[in-house]
Chain A
Amino acid sequence: EAQVTQNPRYLITVTGKKLTVTCSQNMNHEYMSWYRQDPGLGLRQIYYSMNVEVTDKGDVPEGYKVSRKEKRNFPLILESPSPNQTSLYFCASSLDWAWGLGGANVLTFGAGSRLTVL
Chain B
Amino acid sequence: SQQGEEDPQALSIQEGENATMNCSYKTSINNLQWYRQNSGRGLVHLILIRSNEREKHSGRLRVTLDTSKKSSSLLITASRAADTASYFCATVLDTGRRALTFGSGTRLQVQP
Contact = CB atoms under 8 A, between A and B. Distances in A.
B99 A59 contact: yes
Interface string A27-39: 0000101010000
For chain B, give the interface size range: 20 to 34
A100 B92 contact: yes
Given A42-B2, A48-B98, A111 B42 contact: yes
Interface residues of A, number: 30
B102 interface: yes
B65 to A, nearest CB: 13
Interface string B32-69: 01010000111111001011000000000000000000
A7 interface: no
Interface of A: 4, 31, 33, 35, 40, 42-43, 45, 48, 50, 56, 58-59, 88, 90, 92, 97, 99-102, 104, 106-112, 114
Interface of B: 2, 30-31, 33, 35, 40-45, 48, 50-51, 88, 92, 95, 97-105
Contacts of B45: 106-108
Contacts of B33: 99, 106
Contacts of B44: 109
